[in-house]
Structure 1
Amino acid sequence: MAARTSFVGKPLACAGRVGPRATQVACRSVTRAQVAEVAVLNETGEKTGTKQLDLKFAGESSKGLVHRYVVHVLRNQRQGTSSTLTRGEVRGGGRKPYQQKGTGNARRGSRRSPLIPGGGAIFGPKPKDWSSKMNKKERRLALSSALVNAADAIQVVPDLDGKFGDMKTKSVVSALQSFGCGEDEKVLLITKDQENEGLYLGGRNIPKLTFNVMNNIHIYDLLNADRILMEESVVPYVQETFGA
C-alpha cells in the first residue's frame, strides 16, 4: 500500500501568509478538481474494477486546511469542565488556626491558604470554552482533500446489510479478513446508515475497527486509518457532496 502524506502538524503552505484568513484566500484561489481512483471489491475480496471520484482539492494549501480542520474537531470535543476551588471558595477558614506568636510556626491567618493541605488552589483550572469556528465550505473542502489523499487506502465493498444476523464478532472479523484487512491495521468502515445492528454489535469488540456514517465522516478517523472500507451505496453520496 502506498504511503500517505500526514496532514497533522503541518504548517500552512501559502505564499508568505499564515492563519485562517490565508487559508480562506487559498481555498478560493486554488480549489480544483482531482480524480481519485479507488478499488472495487466483491464479497470474496477479489478486485473487480475501479471507480473514479471527481473530488474537490485545495492544492498546496490542503495541508494547512486539513490540519486546521483536525484542530477544530479536537478542540470542539473538549468539555472544558475541569474546575478547582480558589482560596476564597474553600469552605471554612474564618478562625485563626493558632496564635500569632510563641508556637514557632509560620504566621497563619486562615486554613484556606494554598500553602496548607486542604486549602485553595493557585492558578488551578476553571471551566473554559475550547470550541473554535470554521466555515462549512472550508470543512467540506478539507474533508474532500483528505479523501483525495487517502484514495490509495480506500476500497469499495458491497453493502453489508443483513449479512451479520448472528451478531458475532467472529463473522465480522472473517469479513474483514476476506477484504484483505490485517490484524494490525486500523480499519475505518463507512456505512450508509446505522441500521445494520448485526454489523455494529459484532464489530464493536474489534479494537482497531472504527465505524462512520456517510453523512458524518470524522476527519481524525479518516487520517488515522490504514485501510478505509466504503460501502457501494456510499460512493454516490461522496461524489455528490464532495464532487467538483
Structure 2
Amino acid sequence: MKVKVQTLDAKAGGDIQLDDAVFGVEPRADILHRVVTWQLINRRAPARPARERSDVARTGKKFGRQKGGGTARHGDRRAPIFIGGGKAHGPRARVFTSSLNKKVRALGLKMALSSKAKEGNLIVLDNLDLGEGKTKALREKLSKLGFGKTALVMDGDALNVSFARASSNLESINLMPAVGANVYDILRHETLVLTRAAVEKLEARFNG
C-alpha cells in the first residue's frame, strides 16, 4: 500500500510503501472488541474493601444490660448502626485483571491500524519538526492538514519536544511514541497520524 507523505506545512514529502501485513489486514469487529475489552478491564484500579464488623477495632464488651434499659439489645459497639461500627455488606477487595492471547492482541493492533488506512483516516508526516513550540503556529499548520476533530499522533522512539510543547494545549491532539500504540487509543480518535519513524517502528514491531 502506497501512501503520500506530507510535511507540517502541508507540502508533498514523497511516498511511503506501507506493509500490507500490518496496514492491509481486513478488520474484524469481534477481534477489536476482545482487545478493547481486555485493555479496559486491565486499566481498572483495584476495589478498596470496607471495614466490616470483624475488622473494626472496638471493644467487644457488652455495654448495657440485656433488659430494663428501654433500648434495643446490643452485644458490642462494632454493630453497623453505631458511629464507628463496621460496614454492613460493604464492598470486598477485588482486583480486575484479564488475559488475552498475545497473537490476538497483535492481530487486533494490526486491524486497528488497517481500519484507519482503509477508511482514509491515516496521515503520514515526514517528521514533527516545528520551528518554535507555539500553540498558535501549530494550530495554523494543522488546519491545512485536515486532522479532523480528534487526532492521535505517533512519533518514533522519542517525542519531538517542540511539537509536544505546542500540542499540549490542544485538546483534540494526543501525542505518544510508537511503542505505546494500542487498539483503544487508535479507535477512539478520528484520525491516526504517523511519522516515517513511527511507521518503521510499527512495522519492525511485527516483522522483527
Q: TM-score range by the shorter chain?
A: 0.7 to 0.9
Q: Which amino acid aligns with 2:161?
A: E
Kindly provide the CA deviation profile for residues 44-69 of structure 1, in whole angstroms up to 9, marking residues without a partner as x: 22567765530357757x22222111
Deviates more, 1:49-58 or 1:204-213: 49-58
**In 2, Cα distance between equivalents of 1:123 and 1:172:** 54
Q: Which amino acid aligns with 1:144?
A: K
SS of equivalent residue, structure 1 residue 220:
helix
C-alpha distance 93-167 of structure 1, shift in aligned 2 (>3 A)? farther
**In 1, Cα distance between equivalents of 2:140 and 2:65:** 75
Match of 1:203 in 2: 167
C-alpha distance 241-195 of structure 1, shift in aligned 2 (>3 A)? closer
In structure 2, list runs of 5 or more residues that go unmatched.
none
How much has 1:92 moved relative to structure 2? 0.8
C-alpha distance 236-111 of structure 1, shift in aligned 2 (>3 A)? same
Does 1:42 find its partner at 2:10? no
Match of 2:135 in 1: 169
Out of 132, 150, 172, the residue aligned to residue 98 of structure 2 is 132
SS of equivalent residue, structure 2 residue 166:
helix
Does 1:225 find its partner at 2:193? no
Task: Say if 2:159 and 2:177, in contact at 8 Å, map to a contact too.
Answer: no
Match of 1:192 in 2: 156
C-alpha distance 41-59 of structure 1, shift in aligned 2 (>3 A)? closer
Match of 1:112 in 2: 78
State TM-score, norm by structure 2.
0.82
Task: Say if 1:141 and 1:242, in contact at 8 Å, map to a contact too.
Answer: no
**In 1, Cα distance between equivalents of 2:184 and 2:37:** 9
**In 2, Cα distance between equivalents of 1:58 and 1:44:** 31
**In 2, Cα distance between equivalents of 1:186 and 1:230:** 14
Greater Cα radius of gyration, structure 1 or 2: 2
How much has 1:93 moved relative to structure 2? 3.5
CA RMSD, Structure 1 to Structure 2 (Å): 2.6
Task: Say if 1:83 and 1:124, in contact at 8 Å, map to a contact too.
Answer: yes
**In 1, Cα distance between equivalents of 2:25 and 2:121:** 20
Out of 48, 58, 62, the residue aligned to residue 96 of structure 1 is 62
Out of 179, 185, 190, the residue aligned to residue 145 of structure 2 is 179
C-alpha distance 93-206 of structure 1, shift in aligned 2 (>3 A)? farther
State TM-score, norm by structure 1.
0.71
Task: Say if 2:46 and 2:95, in contact at 8 Å, map to a contact too.
Answer: yes
**In 2, Cα distance between equivalents of 1:171 and 1:98:** 76
